[in-house]
Amino acid sequence: MSEKRSLKKIRNIGIMAHIDAGKTTTTERILYYSGKSHKIGEVHDGQAVMDWMEQEQERGITITSAVTDFKWNGYDIHLIDTPGHVDFTIEVERSLRVLDGCIALFCAVGGVEPQSETVWHQANKYHVPRIAFINKMDRIGADFHETINMIRDKLGANPIAIQLPLGAEEKFSGIIDLISMKAVGWDDSTLGRDWSFCELPEEMLPEIKKHREELLEFVAERDDKIMEKYLSGEAISEKEIKSVLRKSVLNLETVPVLCGSALKNKGIQPLLNAVIDFSPSPLDVPSVSGKDPGTGDEIIRTCDDKEPFSSLAFKVMMDDSRKLTYLRIYSGTLEVGKEVYNPVKDVKEKIARIFRMHANKKERVASACAGEIIAVMGMKNTTTGDTLCDISSPIILESIEFYKPVISVAVEPGTIGDQEKLIFALNRISEEDPTFQHKFDDDSGQTIISGMGELHLEIIANKILRQYQVPIRTGKPQVVCRETITKTVNSEGIFNKEINEEKHSGHVWIRLEPLERGKGFEFVNKTDDNRIPENFIPVIEKACYDATLAGIISGYPIVDIRAVLFDGSFKDGVSSELGYILAATAAMKNGAEKAGPVLLEPIMEVEILTPNEFLGEIITDINSRKGKIEKIVDKGVTRIITAHVSLKNMFGYSTSLRSSSQGRANFTMQFLKFETTN
C-alpha cells in the first residue's frame, strides 16, 4: 500500500504557453514558494534558475526545456518548463509526450496567441489533461472573461472558471476562490510568500454568485447525488466539487481556469494546490502500451515498481562533453550499474549514473522508480525517442514525432583545420536536437545546416562558437522547399540487365496522381495477383517511396503524391527484387518529369501585435512581402494582425518591424503549410 500511496502523491506536469506569457516567471515563483529556491530569479535580470543557458539569460527567452522537482503539501512534483518560441516547439512536443498533466498559461492581454494554439493541439495529440492559468492580470488591457471566451472559441475547449480576479490592471489585488467562496490576498512585503483568506467584496457579489452557479451546475450535471442536492437547495461541499472536477479534468472534459500575476507574486500557491487537486498522478493515466520487438504484439505496462523496467528517452543534452539522457520511467526500477536494453537500436546500455535534475544542476541518486523523470549518464547509442527496457522483457514504446526543418544556411569553419571540430560539434548538436540537420554539399563544398527558423539557426551558430570554440562563417538563409506534381500520368519502368553474371529483370506500370496538400505519400497496389508476385509488392512500394526523397527540379523531397501500381509483368527465374527496385525507380523519375512538377515553398502564419498608430505601415510592409492579410483584431490601443507570408519573404523582418514601429511592435511566426507561390 505504501507504494500505491507514494505514486498517488506524484505529479508530472509541464508549463506550456505562447512566448512571453510568463512561463519561466511562474516557474521561478513556484520554486521559491515551495522552498526549492531561496530567492526569486527574474527573467528580465537574466537570473532565472530555469533559464540557465547563457543565451537564454541574454535574450530573456527559454530555448531548451528544463526539468526540476520539488515538494508541495507532501506531494512530489516533477516540473518541465518549456519554450514558447515556435522555433523550439520540439521541446514542447517531447515534454508533452512524457508528462501526465500540464498548466496552460495564457496572457490576460494577448489571450490565446498562435503558439498557444500550437501547444494546445500538441497536448490534444497526447491526451494530456490541462488546467489553465490566466497570467498578467495586472497589465493594462487584461481581460479575464475574454481570455476564457478565446479558450472556448479558438481551442474548442470547455473552460470552467474556479477563480475570478479581484480587480484588474493596476487595481488587481488578489483572487476570488469560487470553490471555497473566499477572497484571497497576498502580502507584498514577503514577496507573496504569505497569503490569506478574507471576506468577499460586496460590490462583486452578483458576479461571484453568477459564476458560482455556473460551477455548481457543471458539477451537478456530472453527478446524480450532487444533482439531487443542487435541486433541493442543499449545500455542496468543497470536497464534492473538487472530486467531480478532478474526474472531468482526467477525462479531458473540462479545463479549470485560474488567474493571477506571477510577476506581482499573486496566484501561485492556489495554482499549485490546483495541480494537486486536479492533475493526474501516474496511477490516473492509462497504462503505457508498446510493441514486442520480436512479434509486434501489443504489450501493456502498468506504473508499478514490480513490473519489468520500461522507459522513454525524451531528451539528450551534452553536459561538459558528456551525454546526459533524460528518461521518463513508466514501469519497474532503475539502479546505477544496471544493464538495460535499447530495442530500437538493438544494443545494450549500462547506467553509469542517475540524477535528479534541477535545471542544469544534478543530484546523484542510486536508483529511480516508476513514475519518475530523471537523467542518466552512460548511454552511448540511445537517442531521443528510443525505448530503454529490461533485457528479459523487451518492449518498444511509441516514439516522438519530429518536425522537418524549413530553413537552411551554409556554414564553414574559420580555418581549414577547424573542419573536423565543426563536424564533431554538428554531430553533437544533432544528437541533442532532432529538428536540426546538417549535410555536406558536394557541389558547393559547403556544410549546410537546417532548422526551424532564423532564431533556431542563429542560436546553433552561437553555440558552435561558444560551446565548441569553432569560429564559423554563415551564408544567407535558404528556404527548404518541397516538390509535388500537378497532373496524373502513367509511367512504365523496365529493367533488364546482367549484373555480376546474374540476370535481373523488372517491369512495372505506375500511375502518379497529385494529392491534396499535407497528404504526403501514398502507395496503392491495383495489380492482378498473376501479374507481379505478392512478395515483390513491398519492395516496389519502398522503391517508390525512396524515389520521392529527391525531386527532379531542385532535389527537394516530393510530397502529396500517390503512386498506383496498376500493371507489370514477371519472368520466372529472371525477375528479381533488384530488377523491380530499379524498374520502379525509373518509372517514378520518368513519371515525375512528365507530371508537371512544381516547387512548394513554406508558408508561415505571422501574427503581429502593434500599437494602432503603426497599423498602416505594417500592413504596407506585409503587402510588399506578397503576404496575405487574414484578419485584424482590435484590442483597444493595440491591433493583432494575422497574415500568411512565404518564408523566403520574411528574412530580416524583425529588423524591419522594429524600425517601422519604433521598437514597440512584436511578431511571432509559425509554419502553416507548403504551397506553390508566384
Q: Is the whole model's pTM more than 0.75, yes or no?
A: no
Backbone angles phi, psi at 649, to 5 degrees: -95, 0
Sign of the CA dihedral with 302 first, then 306, 307, and 312 last: positive
Compute mean pLDDT per 10 residues along the chain, 678 residues long, and list them: 64 87 88 85 56 55 74 91 70 85 93 81 89 95 94 92 92 94 91 88 93 94 92 91 96 96 94 96 92 92 93 86 89 94 94 87 89 91 92 92 78 84 90 85 74 82 86 81 94 90 91 92 87 90 94 90 94 90 95 93 87 90 92 83 90 80 77 81
524 forms bridges with which residues in the sheet? 564
The residues near 569 (Cβ < 8 Å, ≥ 6 apart) are 507, 531, 532
User: What pLDDT, on the 0 to 100 scale, is given for residue 133?
Assistant: 97
* Structural contact between residues 650 and 573, judged by C-beta atoms closer than 8 angstroms: no
Can you give the pLDDT at residue 528?
A: 79
Write down the pLDDT at residue 158: 95
Report how far residue 545's alpha carbon sits from residue 519's, in angstroms, rounded to the nearest whole number: 14
Instruction: Report pLDDT for 650.
Output: 84
From CA 44, how far away is CA 234, in angstroms rounded?
50
For residues 101-140, one letter each, b for 16 or more C-beta atoms within 10 angstroms of the residue's C-beta and e for the rest, the string is: bbbbbbbbbbbbbbbbbbbbebbeeeebbbbbbbbbbbbe
Helix and strand element counts for the chain (H, E)? 16, 38
What was the pLDDT predicted at 458? 84
Query: Of the candidates 47, 71, 70, 69, which has an alpha carbon nearest to the alpha carbon of residue 60?
Result: 47
